[in-house]
């Protein structure tokens, strides 16, 4: 009996060629596994294609619910944005894929897992580190890294082997998408000076073609998780889909990012992530209302660590477990409603309320009902400024350059 290999199958040219190539090179049976993480794809067609190209078996696994529960929402609670910009849609999906591929390999008695990533990207790192963590003895094959074919050669190989190539004008971009966003690269986007052409975007309207009237939405959160839209309870998948659609229509969620890949390359990536952008913004607004200054500051640091770790493919590390525990704990009181205005490419938080709000009107107001003890400010300032005052008396006022020396010699010369 032939050995069995699991192939992470997308339905594209590369993974289709990989089916044939793996069979020929390794004399194995290929089981194509396609994971649905909310891509806009006809999975029946993908499955049929795998079988047609020669896969012994083709499985489609619905990973949407797991994706939302264990990956998207925890990342939202963390406000995870890689380098402050990228909501990590692609990056978050890879550890889930690794898990489902490993499970399928076990169920099917397969001895190896193959994927279609090249040697230049992040996704090979995320998938393989994930698989290694979950199944240390599993063999991993990366045909696209091994076969050394150019794009043209791959297409020629496909034609020679009767692998259908889409006849419709192929998109000049390399695309990866799921519920949390769409990643777009290659083609003209490789020129960092070139503005992305209109056809790079499919989830979002151009802000200048967006509706000329703003739309207001109310997002309800419970412990940092969005649970309702405009007062209507919604499940995660439906809520995210709805947010993508609504915010996308207003041209919200376009991101143009020069990012630092794990493998040392700077790359230019375009993202469309309407739901992620709005939800993270709204979530942050609710945190600002319900968490102390110190909690917020500390959480920001954790957030950067979480985003890096997700991007860098270290999902299954114990550090992730530790940070996740902190993030989860931090969300105890992040419950309430945020009102967001969607208008011409911009989402703006215009209102927030929470039963746990730390905002206290009688402390904040400048009007009647002020409970703030203004007299207490005097003593507070005296002690708060004491170290600065002490230091100034000893080191600053005696300095012959005078107080301006604190700005440095150049600045000072300009002043003179
Ligand atoms: N740069 C993004 C990341 O590393 C997306 C990678 C996949 N993008 C693509 N267009 N194929 O997570």
Domain coordinates in residue numbering, the chain: 4-171, 177-363, 373-415
Q: Are 328 and 144 in contact (CB under 8 A)?
A: no
Closest ligand 1 atom to the C-alpha of 184? 10
174 counts as catalytic = yes
Q: Are 76 and 181 in contact (CB under 8 A)?
A: no
Could you list the pLDDT tens digit for every one of the 416 residues in the chain? 899 999 999 999 999 999 999 999 999 999 999 999 998 889 999 999 999 999 999 999 999 999 999 999 999 999 999 999 999 999 999 999 999 999 999 999 999 999 999 999 999 999 999 999 999 999 999 999 999 898 889 989 999 999 987 755 567 899 999 999 999 999 999 999 999 999 999 999 999 999 999 999 999 999 999 999 999 999 999 999 999 999 999 999 999 999 999 999 999 999 999 999 999 999 999 999 999 999 999 999 999 999 999 999 999 999 999 999 999 999 999 999 999 999 999 999 999 999 999 999 888 899 888 899 999 999 999 999 999 999 999 988 877 777 777 776 665 556 55
312 ligand 1 Cβ < 6 A: no
- Report strand pairing: 4-8 vs 181-185: unpaired
CA of residue 121 to ligand 1 center, whole Å: 7
269 ligand 1 Cβ < 6 A: yes
Active-site option among 14, 16, 29, 47 = 14
Fold of 177-363: 3.90.1260
pLDDT of residue 412: 52
Q: Are 177 and 274 in contact (CB under 8 A)?
A: no
256 ligand 1 Cβ < 6 A: no
Find the distance separating the first CA and the last CA of the chain, reported in whole Å: 88
> Structure pTM?
0.94
CA of residue 127 to ligand 1 center, whole Å: 13
pLDDT of residue 49: 96
Helices (H) then strands (E): counts for the chain:
16, 14
pLDDT of residue 411: 56
Same fold, 4-171 and 177-363: no
pLDDT of residue 169: 53
23 ligand 1 Cβ < 6 A: no
CA distances (Å), origin 281, targets 15, 32, 288:
37, 38, 11
Fold of 4-171: Rossmann fold (3.40.50)
The two three-digit tokens of residue 12, written as one number: 């594209």
94 counts as catalytic = yes
Q: Are 94 and 115 in contact (CB under 8 A)?
A: no
Closest ligand 1 atom to the C-alpha of 122? 4
CA of residue 75 to ligand 1 center, whole Å: 17
Test site for ligand 1: of 90, 116, 201, 312, most ligand atoms within 8 A of the Cβ: 90
Report the C-alpha gap between 227 and 221 in whole angstroms: 6
C-alpha atoms less than 13 angstroms from C-alpha of 362 in its C-beta half-sphere = 3
145 counts as catalytic = no
Active-site option among 174, 228, 357, 405 = 174
Q: Are 275 and 240 in contact (CB under 8 A)?
A: yes
């Amino acid at each position: 009996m032939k050995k069995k290999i699991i192939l992470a199958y997308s339905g594209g040219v590369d993974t289709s060629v990989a089916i044939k190539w793996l069979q020929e090179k390794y004399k194995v049976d290929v089981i194509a596994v396609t994971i649905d993480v909310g891509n806009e794809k006809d999975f029946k067609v993908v499955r049929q294609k795998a079988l047609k190209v020669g896969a012994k078996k083709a499985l489609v696994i619905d990973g949407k619910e797991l994706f939302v529960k264990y990956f998207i929402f925890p990342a939202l609670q963390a406000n995870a944005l890689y380098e402050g910009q990228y909501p990590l849609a692609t990056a978050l999906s890879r550890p889930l894929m690794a898990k489902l591929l490993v499970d399928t390999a076990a169920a099917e008695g397969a001895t190896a897992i193959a994927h279609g990533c090249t040697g230049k990207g992040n996704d090979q790192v995320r998938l393989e580190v994930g698989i290694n963590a979950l199944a240390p003895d599993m063999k991993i094959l990366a045909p696209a890294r091994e076969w050394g074919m150019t794009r043209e050669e791959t297409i020629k190989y496909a034609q020679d082997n009767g692998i259908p190539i889409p006849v419709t004008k192929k998109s000049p971009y390399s695309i990866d998408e799921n519920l949390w966003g769409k990643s777009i690269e290659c083609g003209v986007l490789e020129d960092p000076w070139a503005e992305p052409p209109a056809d790079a975007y499919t989830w979002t309207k151009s802000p200048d073609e967006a509706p000329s009237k703003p739309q207001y939405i109310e997002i309800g959160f419970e412990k940092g998780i969005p649970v309702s839209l405009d007062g209507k309870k919604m499940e995660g998948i439906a809520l995210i889909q709805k947010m993508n659609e609504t915010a996308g229509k207003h041209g919200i969620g376009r991101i143009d990012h020069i990012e630092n890949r794990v493998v040392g390359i700077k790359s230019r990536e375009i993202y469309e992530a309407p739901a992620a952008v709005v939800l993270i913004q709204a979530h942050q607004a609710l945190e600002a209302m319900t968490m102390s200054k110190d909690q917020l500051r500390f959480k920001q640091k954790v957030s950067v660590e979480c985003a890096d770790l997700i991007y860098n493919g270290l999902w299954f590390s114990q550090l992730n477990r530790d940070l996740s525990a902190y993030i989860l704990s931090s969300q105890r009181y992040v419950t309430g409603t945020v009102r967001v205005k969607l208008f011409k490419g911009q989402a703006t938080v215009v209102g927030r309320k929470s039963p746990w709000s730390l905002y206290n009107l009688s402390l904040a107001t400048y009007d009647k009902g002020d409970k703030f003890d203004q007299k207490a400010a005097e003593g507070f300032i005296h002690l708060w400024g004491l170290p600065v005052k002490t230091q100034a008396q000893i080191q600053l006022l005696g300095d012959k350059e005078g107080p301006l020396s604190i700005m440095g010699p150049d600045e000072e010369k300009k002043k003179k």
